[in-house]
Amino acid sequence: MDGVIAVSEDSGKNWANVGKVLYPVTRVSKTGYAAARWISEGRVAAAAVNAIHIKTGAAEWDKSIFTLLPKDFLQPPKVYNSFLSPDSSIYTDIPAGKSIFGGGFAPFVGNIVMLSAPAQPVIDLPRDYVPAVGDAYYILVDRPIDYPKEIIFENRSGGRIIINYYSGDHRVIGEVLRPVVGIGRFPGSLYADPGRIRANHAGVIDISTSPIGAIGGFQIVPALHSSDMGYVNTSTQWMVIGPVEAEEKSLEGMAPFFKNYIHPAYVPEDLEDEAWYEKLLDRFLVQVLYDGEVEWKPMPVFEVHDFYLQRQLPDWANKALANVSVFRILFPIKDLGAN
């Protein structure tokens, strides 16, 4: 207990304490969640406002992970239909959506995780590693230097997915196989504002449509992963995407969608900070283009009220985004380079 959580913005020369460990962990979840199998061991498997998952299993299709959780989960929500393994989680005193959980210091999927055991040098996380009290973890947070300006998703079957760079370069990097039409009750959206990235892992980009404190959002998922989840193909809350050519490898665990490029990064208090302009330039934002319009608009605000969290969604939720023709993920403008 009371282990320090610290971040460095200069490759380890200086460190700032951002929190502490309230409860350590000494086991892993061997079943994890489905998309963890597309991430290599010793890497960040998911980055979200409400969790960071670390992959430990050695086998290619293994799903073994352990988790860092914000203090909100000391008393977890009564209704929670996302992955949660209380016995394989490190509990911190950091609030959801802040610091390492999307407040400016979140890692990226695929970042390397290293281990320092007591009186031992820093090494790669061993295969089939099981956490032990006293162990320290170093997450090496980096991203590509050639960072894009935006990724555009044409919200229709056969729609193009286009990546644009500040240099003017652009290319088609995928295809929308099934558009998103509705919004759903994704619990992590409780900790993210509309138009913000809630989570990224090897099989999802989760985007909030609800204010902090309310639930509502949608997900972008790759085709192979979606085939494992029958409800995706019978519901409207998921955009399913695939590679440009049918013979190409599926997108699970692949950059720039599901590795290295995207993470949750925003807190409302940014607007109150003296350096608010700089902070906003370092955040992701999702915008929409409505049918027949040419001007980008903010993400519409939709939330699912408590009554519907365990019941059938109201009809309006299943078609809330029906008039959105294009989505775009705006990447941070501030050029931080690779750390």
pLDDT of res. 276: 55
Which pLDDT band holds residue 20 (cuts at 50, 70, 90)?
very high
Q: Does pLDDT of 107 surpass 70?
A: yes
pLDDT of res. 339: 40
Of residues 262 and 229, the one with the higher pLDDT is: 262
Of residues 111 and 126, the one with the higher pLDDT is: 111
Q: What are 252-261's pLDDT values in tens digits? A: 999 999 999 9
Q: Does pLDDT of 74 surpass 80?
A: yes
> Greatest CA span in the chain, whole angstroms?
64
pLDDT of res. 337: 42
Q: Does pLDDT of 122 surpass 90?
A: yes
* Alpha carbon distance 218, 184 (integer Å): 6
> Do the Cβ atoms of 6 and 20 come closer than 8 Å?
no
> Do the Cβ atoms of 92 and 70 come closer than 8 Å?
yes
> In angstroms, how far is the first alpha carbon of the chain from the final one?
29
Q: Does pLDDT of 135 surpass 50?
A: yes
pLDDT of res. 336: 43
Q: Does pLDDT of 218 surpass 70?
A: yes
Whether the predicted model's global pTM rises above the 0.95 cut = no
What is the domain partition of the chain in residue ranges?
4-107+109-140, 150-330
* Alpha carbon distance 187, 205 (integer Å): 14
Which pLDDT band holds residue 79 (cuts at 50, 70, 90)?
low
Q: What is the mean pLDDT of the chain?
A: 90
Q: What are 262-320's pLDDT values in tens digits? A: 999 886 666 666 665 565 667 899 999 999 999 999 999 999 987 667 788 999 999 99
> Do the Cβ atoms of 71 and 91 come closer than 8 Å?
yes
CB contact set of 287 (below 8 Å; sequence gap of 6+): 195, 296, 297, 298, 299, 327, 328, 330
The two counts, helices (H) then strands (E), for the chain are 2, 19
Which pLDDT band holds residue 338 (cuts at 50, 70, 90)?
very low
The letter for the amino acid at 116 is S
Q: Does pLDDT of 91 surpass 60?
A: yes
Strands (E) located in 120-256? 122-124, 136-140, 150-154, 159-164, 170-178, 197-201, 204-208, 217-222, 238-242
Q: What are 150-198's pLDDT values in tens digits? A: 999 999 999 999 999 999 999 999 999 999 999 999 989 999 999 999 9
pLDDT of res. 214: 94
Q: What percent of the chain has pLDDT over 90?
A: 69
The 10 Å CB-count burial string (b at 16+, else e) for 18-34 is bbebbebbeebbeebbb
Section 7-21 average pLDDT: 95
pLDDT of res. 231: 84
Q: Does pLDDT of 52 surpass 60?
A: yes
Q: What percent of the chain has pLDDT over 70?
A: 89
